[in-house]
Structure 1
C-alpha cells in the first residue's frame, strides 16, 4: 500500500517530469515500479526505462506491468543494472528520475553516479528526491537513526543544495531545489527534490 507521504512524493515528481515536457524517461532505482506505473499511461510519454540492481523488485514490477493495457506496457523496458555505471545505450533521454534512491548508495558511490549520469548519459533533465533529515523529528525518527535501515546517509536541506549545486556546476546543468511531501514552517518538507536542466 502506498503511504500518503510516498504518494505526495510521486505526485511531485510526476508534476516535475510533466513540467520538463519529457517524452523519454529513465527511472534509476525503479524498484517495484510505483513511478513507472504512473508515468506509463500519460500520452506524452513514449518510452520508459527502469533500472534496478534488485532482481526481485524487477520481477514484482514485471508482474504489475502484466495488469496494464498492452499499448501502455509496450512503452516500458526494464534492466537489472547499477545506476552508478554508465550505459551508453541510455544516452539521450529527456529526463532521468531518482526517487528516494541516492541515500541507499554509500557516499563514495555518489561520484560514480555523477560521472555515469551527468557526465556520460547526460539526460536533458534529472529529478532527484531524498529524505530531508531536518524533518525526521516530525516523523518520530530519533536523532541517532535514519528513516530506513538501508540508508547510508540522510541530508538536511543545506547539504543537499550544496551537493546539487556542485553537480550542476561541474556538469553543465542548472538546478532548483524544492521541499516536497508536506512542509513545516522551519523544518521544510519530509523530502526534498532537485530538478536539474542541462544547459546548451
Structure 2
C-alpha cells in the first residue's frame, strides 16, 4: 500500500518551518512542544541564521531522551563558524510565563494546541502573543475536515487530542488572537487533499503564520520577571568569537598546511632529482614541471614555486654547532601562508596578527626573526630520506618499469604519512577544545541555576 503522503506529513510540517527560516533568517527561535527535539535537530544546522535555539516541553523525560543529540559534532570544533549558536531546553507548560522566552523572532507550535483544553488554549494565546510577543509565530493543527480521507480513522487522530478544528474554527480563533494582540495571519498547510478535493476539504494539517504588526512592541516591560521553567540542557556551540578557539583553529590550519607544503616540496625535489639523473631526464623534468605550473593547484588553492627552503640562517647557536641538525629543519615563510592560504589570512586578519599568534603558541616553532615556521625532520623522515638516497645511489637511476613502480610506492607512502599527521593534529586540537568547552558549559549551567535560585 502506497503511503498517503510523500514525504511523510511530519516531515512536510518540519520542512515548512525550515523553509520559513531560510527566507526570514530569525536570530532567536523557540519550539513549543519540542518533544524529542526532532525539529530542533534540523534547525541547529542553520547556525548562520540562528543565534539562540530553544525548546520547551512539559514532558521532561522525552526531552532528556534525545537532548544530547543536539550537542556539537566534531566538525563544529574543527570548522567553527563566526556566529555562535546557543541551544537551551526547558521543561515547562506553554500556559505559564517565563521571562527567558520573551523577545524572540520566531515561535513554532507544531501540532500542539489540540492537546490543550480550550481554557488552556486561551492561556496559551495570552502567553505566546501577549507576553512573549515574538515577531512571527507558526502554529499548525489537524484539519478535521480532512479526517474522512484517513483510512481506518474514527474519532480524533490521537487519543490525547482535546479537540480538532475545522478550517473555519481555526480561522475564527486566529483572527480573534490577531485583533486582541496586534498581529496579522495568513493561512496555508501541508498534506494536500486528493485531486479535485483541495478546495472543499483543504490541507491535512492547517497552518497559521502570524506576523506582528508594526508598533506592536513588547508589553509588560515593567512586570516582574518570572522563571517558571526548569532548564534541562544548555550548550554553546564553538565559535571563532572565542579568542582561544580562534587561536587553536588558526594554529591547526598553519600546522596542517605547513606539513602539507613540506611534503609536496620534498616530493617535487625527489621527482626532479630522479628524472634529472637519467639520460634525457633533465628535459623531461623541465617539461613536466611546466605542465604542473599550468595545471596543478596547490593545497592552498594557488600556485607555489619553491615555497620552502633550508633554515640554516634561522638556527640557534646550539644548532649551528651541529651541522647534522641543519639537515633536519626546513622553513615555510609566513608570507607564503598568508598570501596563498585564504583560510589562514581570513582567520588572523593581517600578517602581523599571524606572527603574534604563532609567537605565543608552544606548538609552533618560529624562526629567530619570526618570519617563517620551522619544521623539524623526525626519525621517520630521515629514514625515508636515506631510503630515497639508497635508491638513487644503488643503480636505480636506470629508468625501468620496476624502478618507476618502487618510486611510486615510495611517494604514496610519504603522502599517506603526511595525511595521517594532519589528521592527528586536527584530532588533538578538537579533543582539547572539546574538553575546554565542557568546562565552560558546566560553569554556564551553574550560573543559570544560581540566577534561577536568586529569583
TM-based fold match above 0.5: yes
Moved more, 115-124 or 63-72: 63-72
Q: Does 1:35 align with 2:28?
A: no
Q: Which has the higher contact order (CA 8 A, sep 6+)?
A: 1
Q: Judge conservation of contact 1:40–1:75 (CA < 8 Å) in 2.
A: no
Superposed, 1:1-200 pairs within 5 Å as 4-42=8-46, 43-66=48-71, 68=73, 74-140=85-151, 142=153, 145-183=155-193, 184-185=197-198, 186-200=200-214
- Alpha-carbon distance, 1:74 to partner: 5.0
Deviation string for 1:90-141 (max 9, x for gaps)?
1110010000001011111011011111111101111000111111111125
- Greater C-alpha radius of gyration: 2
Describe the shift of the 1:163–1:68 C-alpha distance in structure 2 as closer, same or farther (beyond 3 A): farther
User: Partners in 2 of 1:116 and 1:147 — Cα distance?
Assistant: 26
Q: Judge conservation of contact 2:25–2:50 (CA < 8 Å) in 1.
A: no
Moved more, 162-171 or 68-77: 68-77
User: Partners in 2 of 1:141 and 1:22 — Cα distance?
Assistant: 40
Deviation string for 1:62-93 (max 9, x for gaps)?
13224745569952100101111111121110
**What is residue 270 of structure 2 aligned with on the other side?**
none
User: Partners in 2 of 1:98 and 1:6 — Cα distance?
Assistant: 13
SS in 2 for 1:11: helix
Q: Judge conservation of contact 2:136–2:209 (CA < 8 Å) in 1.
A: yes
Could you tell me the TM-score, scaled by structure 1's length? Answer: 0.91
Higher relative strand content: 1
Q: Judge conservation of contact 2:51–2:85 (CA < 8 Å) in 1.
A: no
User: Partners in 1 of 2:102 and 2:87 — Cα distance?
Assistant: 16
Count of aligned residue pairs for this structure pair: 197
Describe the shift of the 1:36–1:68 C-alpha distance in structure 2 as closer, same or farther (beyond 3 A): farther
The runs of 5 or more residues in structure 2 that have no matched partner are 1-6, 215-455
- Alpha-carbon distance, 1:163 to partner: 0.7
User: Partners in 2 of 1:161 and 1:124 — Cα distance?
Assistant: 20
Q: Judge conservation of contact 1:23–1:47 (CA < 8 Å) in 2.
A: yes
Deviation string for 1:9-54 (max 9, x for gaps)?
1111222233333111010111101110111101211110100010
User: Partners in 1 of 2:73 and 2:175 — Cα distance?
Assistant: 38
Q: Judge conservation of contact 1:90–1:121 (CA < 8 Å) in 2.
A: yes
Q: Judge conservation of contact 1:24–1:95 (CA < 8 Å) in 2.
A: yes
Could you tell me the TM-score, scaled by structure 2's length? Answer: 0.41
